[in-house]
Amino acid sequence: MDIGLHNIHRIAVISDTHGLIRPQVREKLAGCEVILHGGDINRQAILDELAKIAPVHVVRGNNDKEWAEYLPETLSLELFGLRILMVHNKKYLPEDLGDRNLVIYGHSHKYEEKLVDGRTWLNPGSCGPRRFNQPITMAVVTVEEGTGAFSVEKVEIPHEKQSTVS
């Protein structure tokens, strides 16, 4: 019997993997019950690999071509009482976000977390190949089931330093 204790759930949020699942990312994913992918996956094999770790919910990114035609461009779902809306490029979000309390997007490769009108907007950044000298990032959302309470943890993945040639 539940005596006021709530189940705590961890949801991994990644985007812009562009064909690469780093070992450090795989480790973080393994501690989560669900994986949300914000698009630009690159190939079906990446989704197959992720599905071996945890159930995956995904949206199609602008670089996900013919192989990904079956993937939705936007996805609305509820996990552990958290109401989520996902899209790859936030400029394609519908005007009416309804009762969603977490909006997830990718595309820019830049981590962003902000509160707008009581709703959390989250871009986990990119945890695939490093681009534009940006950090390699993802996020883990912790949800307290039944309360609507959740928190977001930014996870920065160390990257290999590039040697300079003079």
User: Which CATH number do you get for residue 77?
Assistant: 3.60.21.10
Decide if 106 is inside a domain: yes
Residue 68 lies in a domain: yes
User: What is the value of pTM for the model shown?
Assistant: 0.91
Q: Answer yes or no: is 1 within a domain.
A: no
Residue 122 lies in a domain: yes
Domain count within the chain: 1
Give how far Cα 121 sits from Cα of 42, 82, 103, 104, Å.
Answer: 24, 13, 5, 6
Model pLDDT for residues 102-152, shown as the tens digit of each residue: 999 999 999 999 999 889 999 999 998 887 788 999 999 999 987 779 999
Q: What is the pLDDT of residues 39-74, one digit of tens each?
A: 999 999 999 999 999 999 999 999 999 999 999 999
Cα–Cα distance for residue pair 158/160, rounded to 1 Å: 7
pLDDT of residue 159 exceeding 50: yes
> Does residue 166 carry a pLDDT above 50?
no
